[in-house]
Amino acid sequence: MLRDKEILSKIWRRLKSWEGFLLALLIAIIISNSIKSPVYLSIDNQINLFNLSIEKIIVALVMIFIIINAEIDLSVGSMMGLSACTFGWLFQQGVPVPAALILVMVLGIIGGAFNGFWITKIGLPSLVVTLAMLIGFRGLARVMVEDRGITDFPEWFDALGQQPLVGPFPLSLIIFFGLIIIAIIVLQFSGFGRFVYVIGNNREVARYSGINVLRVKMILFVASGMISALAGLLFAARVGAVRGDVALGFELDIITMVLLGGVSIFGGSGSIFGVILSILIVLNLRNGMALANITGHIQTGVIGVLLIISVLIPNIQRTLRSVWNRRHMVD
């Protein structure tokens, strides 16, 4: 009986938390969408809901680690674009597709290491470095393909992004499920995950505790570049073509998903479970707006508002909690 009360108490605390609010918001969006559109709850639409944003949510998984570590990577969308365009350019030059895929993944690792070098070795802020690379990687992508699109990839490559691989699930969705399991294990149940949290809370304390802070940060940025390159390849396979504007502005949705999920922009706190809820919120919100024929520009504006709210509300909660605690101590 006592154990049942403890379980119910934990559930109630969870429901009152930020994750509880996100769950309620998600349920409200699902109900609203299902009322407005009869096709919303169909299996095809639910799979399509993930397919159209699968590259974003894959990159969001590594962005969780980076922001909890009190850093930011604004270059992920541009790295996705550069990777897709590099693949297209290599294909046009006659490079075999398997070799091109490997070279693109190496490019992602190099790009991530380049960001990590300036951040860890030179000591520049990640905001400045990755903002510069947002512009730099995008510029390289546009130079590589100019104003044309590259198409006519092999049928088997397009099929990887456009056809189901296991049951109704395409390769990209299977990769996402695999990566989310890995992310949960690493962040929540491994020593490396604890290092990420400790560094995000206080870098100096982490250093004095014997944690190799620079090594952890370098690993995170290399992983970010590699996963972004993978996402760029998945985008190329799904669309069957690449252009210089591939994944343009994707970083807005990615960062919004992470911050809305309760990950603090200042680092040191957050969980994957909250981000999973926020991913579902963003995807269902965009899907509902698309079914209602709301233009992409308005959808982007709504996501921007969500980004502001995701930063503002936790800060207000923190301030109110601090004021309450001070008054309680005085009383």
User: Quick one: pLDDT at residue 325?
Assistant: 67
User: Quick one: pLDDT at residue 5?
Assistant: 55
DSSP 8-state assignment for residue 154: -
Is residue 79 a contact partner of residue 228, using CB atoms and an 8 Å limit? yes
pLDDT single digits (tens) 273-305:
999 999 999 899 888 888 888 887 788 788 778
User: Quick one: pLDDT at residue 314?
Assistant: 67
**CATH code given to domain 25-325:** 1.10.3470
pLDDT lower than 50: segments of the chain:
none
CA 259, 262, 264, 267 torsion-angle sign: negative
Is residue 32 a contact partner of residue 151, using CB atoms and an 8 Å limit? no
Is residue 284 a contact partner of residue 29, using CB atoms and an 8 Å limit? yes
Q: Using DSSP, state whether 58 is helix, strand or coil.
A: helix
Is residue 55 a contact partner of residue 234, using CB atoms and an 8 Å limit? yes
List 166's β-bridge partners, or say none: 169
Q: Sketch the domain layout of the chain as residue ranges.
A: 25-325
